Structure 1
Amino acid sequence: MPGTNLTRNEAQERAALLDVHHYAIDLDLTLSATEFASTTVVRFSCRQPGASTFADLVDAREPKIWLNGTEVDASAYADNRIALTDLAAENELRVETRLPFSRTGEGLHRFVDPADDRVYLYTQFEVPDARRVYTTFEQPDLKSTFTFTIDAPTGWTVVSNSATPEPTEVRDGVSRWAFAETKRMSTYITALIAGEYDTVTDTYKGEYGEIPLGIQVRKSLREHLDDDEIFEITKQGFGFFEGVFEMGYPFGKYDQAFVPEYNMGAMENAGAVTFRDEYIFRSRQTHAAYESRANTILHEMAHMWFGDLVTMKWWDDLWLNESFAEFASHHAEVNATKYTGAWTGFTNQRKNWAYRQDQLPSTHPIAADNYDLHAVEANFDGITYAKGASTLKQLVAWVGEKDFFAGLRAYFSKHAYGNTELSDLLVELEEASGRELTSWAKEWLQTSGVNTLRPRFTVDADGAFTSFAVEQTAVDAYPTLRRHRIAVGLYDRTDAGLVRRTRVETDIEGALTEVEELVGQKQPDLVLLNDDDLTYAKIRLDERSLETLTTSIADLPDSLARALCWGAAWDMLRDAELPARQFVPIVLAGVGTESDLTAVQTLLRQGGSAVALFSAPDNRDALGAQWEQGVRALLDAAAPGSDHQLAFVRAYAGAAESPESIAYLTGLLDGSVAPEGLAVDTDLRWAIVAGLARAGAFGDAEIDAELARDNTIAGQEKAAGARAGRPDAAAKEFAWDAVVVRDDLPNETQRSIARAFQQPGQGELLAPYVARYLEVAETVIEKGVWRASEILESFFPRANPRAEDLAAVDAWLASNADLDPTTRRYVSEGRSDLGRALAAQERDAAV
């Protein structure tokens, strides 16, 4: 039985049979707090009259179905599909039903704000969830136009893909919004946002005309909305994209709704983008948070052309949608906004995500074989986004930026409002650039794994290179050795810091590439492969370079060069080539003066992981004390009111174990400790409470008291997470029951609990849950992909690595050959992390 799955073959067969002309969708949101009424009338053609197919509709309650004016027997609806037989050349399908509001963030999600009891709804349809709200042919290449008519309580805000019309009252307390017909689009980018949202408006005025802008936000968050900053980024984005694409924005108006309990970062619904409302900052944040939000705004805007205007035929090219938006958002940030260091942030965070994902057993080609919807849902990952964006960045360098955008313009013009495959884009890029790209695509898009580049050289008695080569390796499972364009930088210690003396750019191919230009050069203090981050590959540091970084990484003036060094050290730690006892001092030596705040946050997280996961058990207490004391010293030395000060106090809360640290953090909460310039605001208070709860210093009474100060949905989520993190058997049982057993808690509350469950230093307390986890994992997919993936990932026993747990997981995987692919993926990924941590611990013990 297909259930909610759909195969690529089924989609191709249906696309060959049908043309979909129009959906008329009427929704009544006033039935009850649990259900809404949905009526869909869809007009479509059939190329083979008399043929059969199916429409999609999930969890319908007592549906009534008419095909071409004749009522269809109720048995036609089964297994979330409506069987359609004996089709005419032109057809009209009408379906009337009731559907449930969602609490999982899929379909039409309903939320009641505990701050003021106001109601908020929004849709989330990617990948296949429009069928939870109206009857569809749920696949991206059956585009259509849409007309939405919405009945909702009078006074609500109602937003969809078309401009919001003036409502008319249809009965007491209920009004109707009749939206104009949309442009042609795929079902997954249609949208509805409805409820008691506040809206702020503005207008972008550009070369191609005016675009009405709107921001929707919950009333309880309105005071925190920095709409000037959001509109500024939005206008800069439109100016940049309309300029480089030489094409006006295609969907009329542009709303950006910040919605609660959102599963994703954001979603590119045409003209009605949705964002998780944690992007409305209630408390002070570092520069990195604003840069990240700007990137997300620009990412979704790029999709308006690449993804919404021109859409993939099937989800095999999901990577191209997301990789392009990832590349374009960073490119726009650098060229059109104040966040000019965006590519450094990309290297420090997003690229590290890709490298990790590409070394897991679940790695896959960038152009993945998404044979069905379950495969699609499993492949939303760091390869789809960050490895793909890294590869596109290489492609831009390969064909040239001018020709790349010329090819894009031709692509948008030729395929507007249509569907394409990768080959359609490559045709235009080849035409614009004169480059052959088929072999490039095969090498980079259709293979898995990441290469490692190492410097190999010899030095004479005078300290000069007598030979220099770059060695390229790959793991046995994915042996492809790719072509890379890289730069090699030679850096010397000087009075001005670590300064680049020489830069040589060269092509790397095969296992060993000689770099003759460097022969005769004096060996520097630092040899940096892939300088300027031109390719996607792990790099290694020679012994002298590593020694230089251990004491002098802060002396590198270029933030991108530092990002590459930070990444190399982290990779070497994870690959058991660098002991944790050496990595932690590198972080402490450089993070205090690191200018890229994305790097600061990443490094502080990595330093904590080095202690908790990668240090030998016999070394851990001493290294943990060194880390805690080092972070405290950085906090004390940070400039008052600086972003570094805020980042270090958060990290200190995460590292706290000693009586001194617990007393300091408690003092921050009660005001007896008051560092100059540090505002202990709502979000920082919760970070401290979570740290104290994890350390066993705070219990339910203290958490309850903090919740009384902040009884918002965010406060409730933070409180639930703090309880789950406590080193207490009752706290762990509460967390297990709330997420694994119960189905009545909303998705974001469950997520907060799940992610606090596994804590370093609580191994003995968590040991009994290993067997319970493996037992539940066999059937957890029945809870749906979103919930199952959260349980499988967050409850995996990775926080306190033990050899016996690795053995138990290996035995379980071996004895469960018929696992659901999503389950096998997440458990195998956890197993990989566990094995990597144990290997790193052995390396740390051997020092």
Structure 2
Amino acid sequence: MPGMNLTREEAQARAEIVNVDSYEVVLDLTVSDKVFGSHTTVRFSATEGTSTFIDAVTSCVRSVNLNGVELDPTEVSDGVRITLPDLAAENTLVIDADALYMNTGEGLHRFVDPVDAEVYLYSQFEVPDSRRMFAVFEQPDLKAAFAFTVTAPAHWDVISNAPTPEPLDAHEGAKTWAFSPTDRISSYITALIAGPYQCVRSELTSSDGRTIPLGVFARASLMKHLDAENIFTLTRQGFEFFEEQFGTPYPFEKYDQLFVPEFNAGAMENAGAVTFLESYIFRSRPTEAMVERRAITVLHELAHMWFGDLVTMRWWNDLWLNESFAEFMSTLAAAQNTEFTSSWTTFNILEKNWAYRQDQLPSTHPIKAEINDLEDVLVNFDGITYAKGASVLRQLVAWVGQEQFMAGVRQYFDKHAWTNTELPDLMRELEAASGRDLSQWSKLWLETAGVNTLRARIETDASSVITSFAIDQSAIEEHPVIRPHRLAVGFYDLDSSGSLMRVHREELDVAGETTDVPALVGRKRPDLVLVNDDDLAYTKIRLDASSLATATEHLKDFTDSLPRTLVWSAVWDAVRDAETPARDFVELVLGNIGHETDSTVVMVLLRQLNTALDYYIDRGHAPAARRATADRLWELARDAKAGSDAQLQFTTAFANLAHTGAQLDAVGALLSATIELEGLTVDADLRWDLLTSLCAGGRAEAAAIEAELVRDATSTGQLAAHTARAAIPTAEAKRTAWDAVIAGTLSNLEQRAAISGFNRVHDPKLISSYLEEYFASVGTVWKSKSYEIAQQIATGLYPSAQVSESTLATTDAFLGALGDSSPALHRLIVESRESVVRALAAQAADAEGTAH
């Protein structure tokens, strides 16, 4: 990404001499299907006589006028930045340019719906891409008021941060929408969504008595699937909860939620105009896990309206606080004010597992990361920034109390509304509200990396009465910090009905390498001891031998989902750390997953099952394990309750693993309806799952894919077709997919789909020859493509399926040659390399494990 970087030092220097008042941005979306007109007027003050630059990624710059003086665009613009010399105390800058539509999910993305050939646009600016739509001082601390005026086809709807005005006639077939100025916000949360979107509207009353208009938008071809009332219900619940907790009314004039095509992330917190990926519109039956994920995402983005949009980080080193806060608050809101009362279970299995995985990579970093430039922040949208930070905030709330925590947050919003802050600004308010000195807590938790491990050490007498109970804490050599934890210890016993019930809970502070727990001495040792019961602390746990034996035999007998999930997580973590043979984990999952009641837990366990089979089982035993697992999943699908979530998940998981003749026969029979499972609807998405299974198994080819596209001629169908074509197990199919990805002929989601299909192999040898080709091309890819596209390729095509010392040696040779020339690419490849290191260790542990 040549010339696109911005360093922290450059941003700080610019902020010292520039203060921005306003932007007037005039866009013409009727120019062509490649570019649009972008005319920007910026009013700003500056230190007189200094020079700076404004960011503007352009196709061409026609004119630059600074304080009435015409500057030569060929001299001051390089297509990324425009130099601004000899500034006055008060400045007016006018730039007339053309900008490029994107198909990468960055900047102003352009999409053509294959159903009706209509054009849909949306902006995605986080981190540095508002400069792709208009000239802007692209950094979060230079807030300003933004007024957009947009000319677009007359039949379109145009949505931005401010309420949509009545359009005026422009030239033939076009209208112009002139939006009122926003409050002072950062450029990355401005937004433009334009096209023939359709809308369902509602409203709510804010805590200050204002009527807040609500809108839920989608493409016309998806409106029949949009369950807008569910979105409105969650939005109202979120408004109620956040306004009460934050003591601050919703800060904007309206709240629109827009489902947009080919979106790279889950959602984006544009002020008053949040965008979501279209997968959250359920055209086929969703799993309960997906419904809950959407709910958490809706609440996450709503929380950002306060934390991130109203009060914004000064620089991207505090990105974690934006994302961690929204992640924590969305789960808290779901648990306390929606139907998703078990959301902390979901948080553990999904978010915390992500955090633990990220925190054990060589690239792990403190929650408060050092962000030197834009490349640093782009790779920091990770499990530390989101999930570990949210976990640590939950730990802080457990330590100081929720009411005290929220009291500090309320003061924070009162003092800093519409401004930029840094971490100490929040910590001062939390200290004042809680009466605690948080400096040492902040240092240990936010400024150091790594995860600790806790184990219970228990001694008993002959009657099984506890004579000594201690919690031992350890850390790895690379990150040796021992931290304080507020946690609970749970005692669980089997009752007469066979249920595993909690019989005692002891909450305490754990600090140092050993913490004695005298309150538990004299109690009878229970069947199972669970350290970090209720999941208050951020830590890995290990079960003692007796508790592990109980958990292994009675995992399904927990009456509550969270303790059961904590055990699942502990066992999986031990597999990843090469302490437990992967085949033991597979047996544990297959023996208990049929009794699991939480949809997200089932989803994650099935993913972990695939990882164990593909990477962690000794290669000599892997083929038999894959066959047996697929057969067992088919049994589970047939035995599951008719129409249940588990039935759907087991069927999809079976199709993913099916590869023997009999297994593929069953997949084909499901697709052709010669076999039917009562209650299971083979709808559009499931049909693609089954067809892709047949393609990967060599049972279906291009003609079958084209026939399915006739049945499902939608953008979702087209993406599924990219995956299915690339999954065909022939050298020709793999070469076609590889070349399309490397050449850059695909959009962002088409590329992602093709990469998924390319990696869909039952025999990794089929794509082993691409190892050298990957390293020969990835450097050029990184230099020539946008970040989103390059990152997908760098991580998605890394040869992780080739688990061998040779892969590590080739990777190391590349990294050595790369040196310090591209830190972001270096980090991505180091992280991918670690997956091979773990796989080799896990395979060795599995080979040495107990006989099976």
**TM-based fold match above 0.5:** yes
**5+ long unaligned stretches in structure 1:** none
Q: Deviations over 1:375-409 (max 9, x none)?
A: 01011101000000001111112221111111111
Q: Deviations over 1:414-453 (max 9, x none)?
A: 1111110010111111111111111111110000011111
Say if 1:760 and 1:799, in contact at 8 Å, map to a contact too. Answer: no
TM-score (norm 2): 0.98
Q: Deviations over 1:81-135 (max 9, x none)?
A: 1111111110000000111100111110000001110110000000010000000
Instruction: Measure, in 2, the Cα distance between the counterparts of 1:699 and 1:802.
Output: 31
TM-aligned CA deviation for residue 793 of structure 1: 0.9
Instruction: Measure, in 2, the Cα distance between the counterparts of 1:206 and 1:59.
Output: 40
Instruction: Measure, in 2, the Cα distance between the counterparts of 1:807 and 1:287.
Output: 43
Instruction: Measure, in 2, the Cα distance between the counterparts of 1:15 and 1:51.
Output: 12
Aligned to 1:119: 119
**5+ long unaligned stretches in structure 2:** none
Say if 1:463 and 1:523, in contact at 8 Å, map to a contact too. Answer: yes
Aligned to 1:346: 347
Aligned to 2:676: 674
Instruction: Measure, in 2, the Cα distance between the counterparts of 1:583 and 1:800.
Output: 22
Aligned to 1:133: 133
1:265-664 matched pairs, under 5 angstroms: 265-496=266-497, 497-664=499-666
Aligned to 2:807: 805
Say if 1:554 and 1:589, in contact at 8 Å, map to a contact too. Answer: no
Judge which range, 777-786 or 377-386, deviates more.
777-786
TM-aligned CA deviation for residue 818 of structure 1: 3.1
Letter in 1 for 2:316: W
Instruction: Measure, in 2, the Cα distance between the counterparts of 1:251 and 1:489.
Output: 44
Aligned to 2:775: 774
Secondary structure (helix, strand or coil) at the match of 1:299 reads helix
Judge which range, 538-547 or 276-285, deviates more.
538-547
TM-aligned CA deviation for residue 800 of structure 1: 4.2
Say if 1:640 and 1:676, in contact at 8 Å, map to a contact too. Answer: yes
Secondary structure (helix, strand or coil) at the match of 1:98 reads strand
Secondary structure (helix, strand or coil) at the match of 1:797 reads coil
Say if 1:460 and 1:466, in contact at 8 Å, map to a contact too. Answer: yes
Q: Deviations over 1:603-644 (max 9, x none)?
A: 011112111111001111222222112212211111101111
Aligned to 1:173: 173
Aligned to 1:710: 712
TM-aligned CA deviation for residue 702 of structure 1: 1.7
Say if 1:613 and 1:800, in contact at 8 Å, map to a contact too. Answer: no
Instruction: Measure, in 2, the Cα distance between the counterparts of 1:370 and 1:780.
Output: 23
Report the count of equivalent residues.
845
Aligned to 1:232: 233
Say if 2:729 and 2:761, in contact at 8 Å, map to a contact too. Answer: no
Say if 1:257 and 1:272, in contact at 8 Å, map to a contact too. Answer: yes
Instruction: Measure, in 1, the Cα distance between the counterparts of 2:18 and 2:424.
Output: 23
Instruction: Measure, in 1, the Cα distance between the counterparts of 2:465 and 2:770.
Output: 57
Letter in 2 for 1:776: S
TM-aligned CA deviation for residue 819 of structure 1: 4.1
Judge which range, 53-62 or 446-455, deviates more.
53-62
Letter in 2 for 1:58: V
Q: Deviations over 1:270-320 (max 9, x none)?
A: 001111111111100121111110111110000000000000111110000
TM-aligned CA deviation for residue 493 of structure 1: 2.2
Letter in 2 for 1:68: N
Say yes or no: does 1:720 pair with 2:722: yes
Q: Percent identity?
A: 51
Say if 1:645 and 1:678, in contact at 8 Å, map to a contact too. Answer: yes
Letter in 1 for 2:143: K
Instruction: Measure, in 2, the Cα distance between the counterparts of 1:399 and 1:514.
Output: 22
Instruction: Measure, in 1, the Cα distance between the counterparts of 2:463 and 2:830.
Output: 51
Instruction: Measure, in 1, the Cα distance between the counterparts of 2:172 and 2:832.
Output: 55
Aligned to 2:188: 188
1:68-217 matched pairs, under 5 angstroms: 68-74=67-73, 75-78=75-78, 80-208=80-208, 209-217=210-218
Q: Deviations over 1:459-493 (max 9, x none)?
A: 33333333222121111111111111121122222
Letter in 1 for 2:569: G
Say if 1:406 and 1:432, in contact at 8 Å, map to a contact too. Answer: yes
Say if 1:553 and 1:589, in contact at 8 Å, map to a contact too. Answer: no
Instruction: Measure, in 1, the Cα distance between the counterparts of 2:757 and 2:577.
Output: 26
Instruction: Measure, in 2, the Cα distance between the counterparts of 1:726 and 1:2.
Output: 36
Secondary structure (helix, strand or coil) at the match of 2:616 reads coil
Instruction: Measure, in 1, the Cα distance between the counterparts of 2:407 and 2:620.
Output: 59
Letter in 2 for 1:43: R
Instruction: Measure, in 1, the Cα distance between the counterparts of 2:760 and 2:450.
Output: 30
Letter in 2 for 1:585: E
Say if 1:758 and 1:798, in contact at 8 Å, map to a contact too. Answer: no
TM-aligned CA deviation for residue 539 of structure 1: 0.6
TM-aligned CA deviation for residue 199 of structure 1: 1.3
Aligned to 1:739: 741
Say if 1:612 and 1:800, in contact at 8 Å, map to a contact too. Answer: no
When the two chains are superposed, the root-mean-square deviation of aligned CA atoms in Å is: 1.4
Instruction: Measure, in 2, the Cα distance between the counterparts of 1:533 and 1:631.
Output: 30
Letter in 2 for 1:661: Q
TM-score (norm 1): 0.98
Letter in 2 for 1:105: G
Say if 1:14 and 1:53, in contact at 8 Å, map to a contact too. Answer: yes
Distance 1:2 1:650, change over 3 A: closer
Q: Deviations over 1:487-541 (max 9, x none)?
A: 1122222234112222222221121222222333333332211111010001112
Instruction: Measure, in 2, the Cα distance between the counterparts of 1:146 and 1:816.
Output: 41
Say if 1:347 and 1:564, in contact at 8 Å, map to a contact too. Answer: yes
Judge which range, 619-628 or 665-674, deviates more.
619-628
Aligned to 1:14: 14
Aligned to 1:25: 25
Say if 1:55 and 1:83, in contact at 8 Å, map to a contact too. Answer: yes
Aligned to 2:822: 820
Instruction: Measure, in 2, the Cα distance between the counterparts of 1:27 and 1:211.
Output: 27
Say if 2:214 and 2:255, in contact at 8 Å, map to a contact too. Answer: yes
Letter in 2 for 1:457: I
Instruction: Measure, in 2, the Cα distance between the counterparts of 1:104 and 1:488.
Output: 48
Say if 2:457 and 2:472, in contact at 8 Å, map to a contact too. Answer: yes
Letter in 1 for 2:601: A
Instruction: Measure, in 1, the Cα distance between the counterparts of 2:771 and 2:43.
Output: 52
Say if 1:762 and 1:800, in contact at 8 Å, map to a contact too. Answer: no
Aligned to 2:60: 61
Instruction: Measure, in 1, the Cα distance between the counterparts of 2:438 and 2:673.
Output: 62
Instruction: Measure, in 2, the Cα distance between the counterparts of 1:823 and 1:755.
Output: 20
Judge which range, 307-316 or 684-693, deviates more.
684-693
Instruction: Measure, in 1, the Cα distance between the counterparts of 2:643 and 2:542.
Output: 37
Letter in 2 for 1:319: W
Aligned to 2:791: 789
Letter in 1 for 2:532: N
Distance 1:756 1:465, change over 3 A: farther
Instruction: Measure, in 2, the Cα distance between the counterparts of 1:267 and 1:751.
Output: 19
Letter in 1 for 2:239: F
TM-aligned CA deviation for residue 827 of structure 1: 0.9
Distance 1:417 1:538, change over 3 A: same
Say if 1:789 and 1:822, in contact at 8 Å, map to a contact too. Answer: no
Instruction: Measure, in 1, the Cα distance between the counterparts of 2:363 and 2:602.
Output: 29
TM-aligned CA deviation for residue 760 of structure 1: 5.0
Letter in 2 for 1:115: V
Distance 1:715 1:374, change over 3 A: same
Distance 1:624 1:143, change over 3 A: same
Say if 1:759 and 1:800, in contact at 8 Å, map to a contact too. Answer: no
